[in-house]
């Protein structure tokens, strides 16, 4: 018995096995919904893994307000979460312009569709640029820290508990420092071998002559990072300080457990890849609108389908923003 094949809708969508489209949706829309559902499960798994890891290291997890406190052209200004909030607003606003583009498509208003698609593309591009800028600051770091022999991150603070950068702690010592390279017989070194700004000996020597204190990643009874006394700080630096850490990478970071940086790079990078893909697709659809492709089809359903994807990307960012920055 042969299956019945029926073409439905203005764009000639093909369905088999019946005369009605499921849920009154075209084939393209259904496939987009299937993709969104599977992708949502993927992001859910990543965020669940992040949540479990954070729970495991809850006493030493970085404080988001201290990590993401930069703002463009305001170096040295403590602006916790301001720029991330601005990024979020821009991305959500791009969803609004996408809604307007879809609505204009329903009304067959080509010029308005093109305008709102263009604004959506601009919003996505600004978000991507902002995310790249945030990655740069995260990788570079701001204050620097010291890693102990046990792999714990310790930071420096003044008497008021404010973070102090390594440049204020370290004392430059005479002598040349040599970077580990394969040509000098250290080819087997698997650790990151790039020279930090200061050596651990310079940090130790400078700390002895200062009045600064050490702050560990462990939380006290008030939920704040534990600050050691001057005597405890000296003992910690002299006995346990192993290496200087500046910024973040996939093996260690100045903010806390390496898993924090691993998840940050992977999840925000994965979402950024989705935004980048969405911007590229939007550009293609935008040019199709300009040349009148959908006017000839008498349907702007393609704009609606890419709009579903864009709204999904925006919604995922709300969860990423909540998990990484707010909770």
Residue 181's pLDDT is what?
52
Q: How far is CA 247 from CA 26, 106, 122, 142, 196, in A?
A: 49, 49, 30, 7, 10
Residues 173 and 317 in one domain: no
Question: Considering the domain boundaries, does residue 7 fall inside one?
Answer: no
pLDDT digits (tens, 9 = 90+) for 28-56: 888 899 999 999 999 999 999 999 999 88
Residues 175 and 230 in one domain: yes
Which CATH number is 55's domain given?
Answer: 1.20.120.80
Residues 202 and 216 in one domain: yes
Residues 36 and 130 in one domain: yes
d(CA 61, CA 132): 23
Residue 324's pLDDT is what?
86
State the DSSP H helix or E strand holding residue 6, giving kind and residue range, or none if neither. Answer: strand 5-8
Q: pTM surpassing 0.85?
A: no
Residues 233 and 270 in one domain: no
pLDDT digits (tens, 9 = 90+) for 65-85: 888 888 887 776 778 889 999
Residues 285 and 310 in one domain: yes
d(CA 205, CA 175): 14
Residues 132 and 34 in one domain: yes
The number of folded domains in the chain is: 2
DSSP for 68-124?
S---TT-TT---TTHHHHHHHHHHHHHHHHHHHHHHHHHTT-HHHHHHHHHHHHHHH
Structural domain range at position 167: 145-246
Question: Considering the domain boundaries, does residue 18 fall inside one?
Answer: no
Question: Considering the domain boundaries, does residue 111 fall inside one?
Answer: yes
Residues 31 and 135 in one domain: yes
Of 221, 246, 271, the residue at which a domain comes to its end is 246
Of 246, 268, 290, the residue at which a domain comes to its end is 246
Question: Considering the domain boundaries, does residue 10 fall inside one?
Answer: no
Residues 302 and 162 in one domain: no
Residue 261's pLDDT is what?
93
Residues 234 and 281 in one domain: no
Per cent of the chain over pLDDT 90 is 53
Residues 176 and 308 in one domain: no
Question: Considering the domain boundaries, does residue 116 fall inside one?
Answer: yes
Residue 83's pLDDT is what?
92
Question: Considering the domain boundaries, does residue 234 fall inside one?
Answer: yes
Residues 227 and 129 in one domain: no
Question: Considering the domain boundaries, does residue 179 fall inside one?
Answer: yes
Residue 217's pLDDT is what?
86
CA 125 to chain centre: 15
Of 213, 246, 279, the residue at which a domain comes to its end is 246
- The residue ranges of the chain whose pLDDT is under 70 are 1-24, 76, 175-194
Residue 49's pLDDT is what?
95
């Amino acid at each position: 018995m042969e299956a019945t094949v029926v073409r439905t809708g203005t764009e000639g969508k093909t369905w088999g096995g019946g005369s009605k489209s499921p849920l009154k949706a075209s084939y393209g829309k259904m496939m987009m919904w299937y993709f969104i559902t599977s992708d949502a499960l993927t992001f859910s798994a990543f965020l669940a893994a992040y949540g479990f890891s954070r729970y495991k290291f809850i006493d030493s997890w970085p404080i988001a307000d201290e990590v993401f406190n930069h703002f463009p052209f305001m170096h040295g200004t403590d602006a916790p979460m301001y720029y991330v909030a601005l990024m979020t607003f821009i991305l959500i606003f791009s969803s609004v312009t996408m809604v307007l583009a879809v609505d204009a498509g329903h009304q067959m208003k080509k010029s308005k569709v093109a305008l709102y698609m263009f604004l959506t593309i601009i919003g996505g591009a600004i978000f991507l640029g902002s995310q790249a800028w945030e990655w740069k600051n995260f990788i570079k770091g701001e204050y620097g820290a010291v890693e102990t022999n046990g792999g714990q991150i310790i930071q420096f603070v003044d008497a008021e508990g404010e973070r102090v950068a390594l440049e204020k702690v370290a004392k430059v010592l005479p002598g040349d420092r040599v970077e580990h390279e394969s040509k000098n017989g250290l080819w087997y070194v698997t650790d990151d071998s790039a020279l930090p700004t200061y050596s651990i000996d310079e940090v130790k020597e400078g700390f002895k002559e200062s009045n600064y204190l050490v702050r560990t990643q462990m939380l006290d009874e008030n939920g704040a990072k534990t600050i050691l006394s001057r005597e405890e700080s000296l003992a910690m630096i002299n006995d346990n300080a192993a290496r200087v850490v500046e910024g973040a990478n996939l093996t260690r970071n100045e903010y806390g457990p390496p898993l924090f940086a691993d998840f940050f790079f992977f999840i925000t990078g994965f979402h950024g890849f989705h935004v980048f893909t969405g911007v590229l697709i939007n550009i293609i659809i935008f040019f199709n609108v300009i040349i009148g492709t959908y006017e000839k089809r008498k349907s702007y359903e393609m704009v609606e389908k890419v709009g579903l994807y864009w709204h999904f990307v925006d919604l995922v960012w709300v969860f990423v923003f909540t998990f990484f920055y707010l909770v």
